[in-house]
Amino acid sequence: MKVAVVTGASSGIGAATARELARLGWHCVLVARRQERLKPLAAELGGEYELCDVSDRSDVDRAAAAILMRHPSIDLLVNNAGIPGRGSFFTLEPERIEAVLRTNYLGGVWVVRALEPGLQPGSHVVNVVSVAGVVAFGPAGPYAASKHAQLAFSRSLAGLLGARGVQVHTILPGFVETEGFPQRSVLTSAFFRRAVIGPELVAERIVKAVESGKRELFVPRWYRVFALIQALLPGLSARLSARSGYRRS
């Protein structure tokens, strides 16, 4: 029985990924904060769940210990938990900026550290980052900063765990429509609204990355263009970012 631990599994990309894995025969351990979402999903998939706030290191250590007690070997860890941060460094509340960094970046660090004893040669770690990890989107600066940090963490982890035979995969989705990220209703750019994708596509690409050994993957692939613009033409990237943003609520 192949065991997969999926964080942020109560909705969106996490739930879609758990469903896709279960369909392929994986035994899923679902991790998130909302029991009212996790319990029925775990029952639907024939899996398990563990309540945990990944931004709380002590809570992560507790949940990981419980998981490792039941499953000493983890075949796949999907670090997907994340929260939105729509707003700039000047408009977003300081408490929200701190929460975004704790959840989107440090949450993955704490989860990998805590579950590291269960990662064996042949295991896989998937970090669901974002195109925001390579493009500094001004209207969501704190979110982009958290994803830049998460990308650096994922790349560093690839070298660290690769020597032990553990593969690390970095997934960089574009705008994805989920409960916490209602992109079609908040984006001002008509182009980006048309480019919004569903979580099921990301879930499919996560599984394919694990199966094929792909190390870094943009979803959809053409989003790589924005990473190249950021790297080669940062001034143009900044101007394009300034013309986009979120609608006022």
Q: Give 117's DSSP letter.
A: G
Under 8 Å between Cβ of 136 and 241:
yes
What pLDDT score does 140 carry?
83
Cis peptide upstream of residue 182 (ω within 30 degrees of 0): no
Q: What is the pTM (predicted TM-score) of this model? A: 0.89
Q: Any idea which residue has 């408009």 for tokens?
A: 91
The number of beta carbons lying within 10 Å of the beta carbon of residue 156 is 11
For the cut 50, the answer to whether the pLDDT of residue 185 exceeds it is no
60: part of which helix (H) or strand (E)? Answer: helix 57-70
Residue environment code for 128-151, b if the CB has 16+ CB neighbours within 10 A, otherwise e:
bbbbbbbbbbbbbbbbbbbbbbbb
pLDDT, tens digit (0-9, with 9 covering 90-100), for 186-222? 445 555 555 676 889 999 999 999 999 999 999 988 6
pLDDT, tens digit (0-9, with 9 covering 90-100), for 87-103? 889 999 999 999 999 99
The domain ranges of the chain are: 3-243
Under 8 Å between Cβ of 119 and 125:
yes
For the cut 60, the answer to whether the pLDDT of residue 59 exceeds it is yes
The separation between the first and the last C-alpha atoms of the chain, rounded to the nearest angstrom, is 47
Q: Is 143 a catalytic residue?
A: yes
For the cut 60, the answer to whether the pLDDT of residue 247 exceeds it is no
Kindly indicate the confidence band of residue 238, based on its pLDDT and cuts at 50, 70 and 90: low
Q: What percent of the chain has pLDDT over 70?
A: 80
The type of residue at 42 is: A
Q: What is the DSSP string of 158-205?
A: HHHHHTTT-EEEEEEE-SB--SS--HHHHB--HHHHHT-B-HHHHHHH
Under 8 Å between Cβ of 28 and 22:
yes
Task: Write down the catalytic residue from 49, 105, 143, 223.
Answer: 143
CATH, range 3-243: 3.40.50.720
